Structure 1
């Protein structure tokens, strides 16, 4: 009988350890401020960094802050502000970002309102550089100085193997009368900032975030929502195998055939591991919600899409490869709570080959949490940060999620 009890205890403990459990929510942003736009990256010494935007509750613009963890995401430093980002327009799809280059250089990339008479909704992408690990900053400058470029937004940024930073963004400048924006690509030239901007694609959906991923072999992958045949807004993928000099032709990751005359405001997510490329995105074509697929041949072909959540309006997916080569995906979705609707964070944990290991929720139905971002840690944990809203005021919180 004693052996049976011991075996049952071992089995119970084993089952508990094999399941992902939500971590404790920890607030990073300042009380009394309206905070949003969390973003996860790593500094030059591989410490985890979370950045975000804070503003006064009545203001429309704010300033970027960040905090650094030197214990693998368990605790973070006091928030540090970046004064030269004052005026940043907080937008959870047009997400401000930090990038740490080797040698102490840090780049802050963020969006501001353009107030251009040619387009009242126009935005401008700015960037600021620090050459002493964030202790002091150069004044922010526009990413685009061409006077024909009056609207830039929905950008991404990544570190290249040579230590330079690459950026992509949507731009009003285009060589076609077809609807959409042009996807541009540029690379930094040392301390001189971003140079050699070039167009990559010309009919990109104007209001969905873009994604750039640099693989371990140096390939530069980009994903975005394209406008196909003037009416279909599906996700496409391109890759550069020559350091960004040229990109492959756009290929749809899934033939959703979503015909919509408007902007969905939810872009794609992309990562890679030993088993290929992994994608997550939102569509209302051939099904509705957040979907997943992968490619084992560097983007030539893609698996049949897989629905991640049964909630039809699940949106804003983010994806990461864990240190164990697995894939973790998070998103937000509406949930009925009493007489109203809240928002919660869902997840799906997948094996390296895309097979689902576990799915569930990271936040409760009684709270309002959305726009999650996710980062891999050195241990069997991932870091998930998101905006938690109370009334009309947001706070940036994070939790450590223990993996099996």
Structure 2
């Protein structure tokens, strides 16, 4: 059912300009437009709002998972483009799961028609529950990992591979929460049983991890498994990424992603978030390094060469803000976004940095998604259908809030040619119109500069069929008979 709530209001006006006319040598800058704010439960706080997670099904359906404390419960709701469905409850079989804050667990993932929730019963086991019909029905929970006597397993996270099979990672400690390492188990029967534990951080410096920080799992398009975690090498708590090329059975590579060199004798209860794509693995994380300062940082790994980029500082959305923390990353190709929470005017707000030019554009365009009363915290985000989808806790309403964030380009001081395209964004058919004589050649490239189509001998006006393109940002390159070449960007929805 479609929800209409008092939160369905534009709280911050940011104008987006879509370039509809071809330009020569444009000077342009990225801008994002936060959509209206929606309460997932239409303002009803009886469902709780703890630690929301957002995911996309294989049918392109946006789903939100969250928890209720007190009378503990897990909930799921679906977005239909206008509002959210009534929440459905996910059973956990009479167990008593520990409900931590932020990314510490439980956690949720979906893929290839399957959904999974992983949670812990501290001192007992890491559990997982599975749905094989995109959340309509759920199996009884299964123990994914039972620690041996004298050990504890905590802070689970979950990811799903291309076949819909789950991977579960967690911190494995002794009874005093020392001697901590990161473990991972995987299933080949949709969560009915799990493999023996793989030691994720075995070749990272010091061979011990932060005992109370979450990790994150990302599955790359080629099937490689990446696990990010906060290491603990004699209190040096850098962010590392381990790589598995055998589906998570072993981890033969590990990379220090973090130049901030944060030394802390106190566990920060705060870990990284990953985005894995062909040719790049991106990490966003928090550090309170005395030399770099407390804030949100970003780095990338080239898995082919084994090179790690320099660590990038992401400024807060407002200069006067403090306590920037809890980053999450999403994107596709050159379109990247990072959200976080920061303290502004005495309350927590959700900030975001966004780029359509890859890593180089991050940190140059950031802003607050809202300026609601009270605090908003613990965001999560995905990128789908040409826009970012963000959820977060709202303390004042006691509900989960959702926003879509639309990236775009605004051109300045542009010299126009007599060529135009419409609509932009486009779904299936892109119309073009040329007011001058002479043939032109059109080429389409995706955000990674890969050719997606070429058209020659075009004159006048016509239509390009784009229904085979996946959603995202594209470049339309135009060559005129006079030798002029220029580019216009468009969004495929």
CA separation in 2, counterparts of 1:18 and 1:353?
A: 11
CA separation in 1, counterparts of 2:78 and 2:156?
A: 23
1:377 to 369, 374, 384: 384
Q: Is 1:272 matched with 2:298? A: no
CA separation in 2, counterparts of 1:21 and 1:131?
A: 36
CA separation in 2, counterparts of 1:395 and 1:127?
A: 25
Matching residue of 2:298: 292
Q: Is the 8 A contact 1:85 1:110 kept in 2?
A: no
Give the number of aligned pairs: 368
Q: Is the 8 A contact 1:178 1:203 kept in 2?
A: no
Q: Is 1:334 matched with 2:343? A: yes
CA separation in 1, counterparts of 2:93 and 2:40?
A: 19
* Residue deviations 1:121-146 (CA, integer Å, cap 9, x gap): xx743212234443433322332234
Q: Is the 8 A contact 1:148 1:173 kept in 2?
A: no
CA separation in 1, counterparts of 2:375 and 2:226?
A: 33
Q: Is the 8 A contact 2:244 2:253 kept in 1?
A: no
CA separation in 1, counterparts of 2:99 and 2:215?
A: 17
1:304 to 299, 310, 315: 310
Q: Is the 8 A contact 2:118 2:168 kept in 1?
A: no
Q: Is 1:148 matched with 2:154? A: no
Deviation at 1:315, TM superposition (A): 0.6
Matching residue of 2:65: 51
Deviation at 1:294, TM superposition (A): 1.8
Matching residue of 1:282: 286
Matches within 5 A, 1:109-188: 109-112=118-121, 114=122, 116=123, 124-148=125-149, 150-172=151-173, 179-188=178-187
Deviation at 1:372, TM superposition (A): 0.4
CA separation in 1, counterparts of 2:213 and 2:305?
A: 21
1:358 to 365, 373, 387: 365
Matching residue of 2:79: 69
CA separation in 2, counterparts of 1:205 and 1:299?
A: 28
Partner SS for 2:92: helix
CA separation in 1, counterparts of 2:253 and 2:177?
A: 18
Partner SS for 1:32: helix
* Residue deviations 1:236-255 (CA, integer Å, cap 9, x gap): 11111222232134321123
Deviation at 1:215, TM superposition (A): 0.8
TM-score by length of 2: 0.68
Change (3 A) 1:142 1:273: closer
Q: Is the 8 A contact 1:342 1:365 kept in 2?
A: no
List gaps (5 residues or longer) in structure 2.
1-14, 20-27, 202-206, 409-493
Q: Is 1:106 matched with 2:115? A: yes
Matching residue of 1:386: 392
CA separation in 1, counterparts of 2:178 and 2:150?
A: 16
Q: Is the 8 A contact 2:334 2:355 kept in 1?
A: no
Matching residue of 2:375: 368
* Residue deviations 1:40-71 (CA, integer Å, cap 9, x gap): 1122433221100023xxx2x61110112344
CA separation in 1, counterparts of 2:93 and 2:178?
A: 31
Matching residue of 2:31: 19
Change (3 A) 1:179 1:256: farther
* Residue deviations 1:85-129 (CA, integer Å, cap 9, x gap): 664333222132333354x543221234x3x5xxxxxx7432122
Q: Is the 8 A contact 2:152 2:177 kept in 1?
A: no
Change (3 A) 1:146 1:276: closer
Partner SS for 2:98: coil
1:36 to 35, 39, 50: 50
Change (3 A) 1:153 1:394: farther
Change (3 A) 1:299 1:385: farther
Deviation at 1:150, TM superposition (A): 4.7
Cα RMSD (Å): 2.8
Change (3 A) 1:298 1:268: farther
CA separation in 1, counterparts of 2:348 and 2:111?
A: 35
Q: Is the 8 A contact 2:198 2:249 kept in 1?
A: no
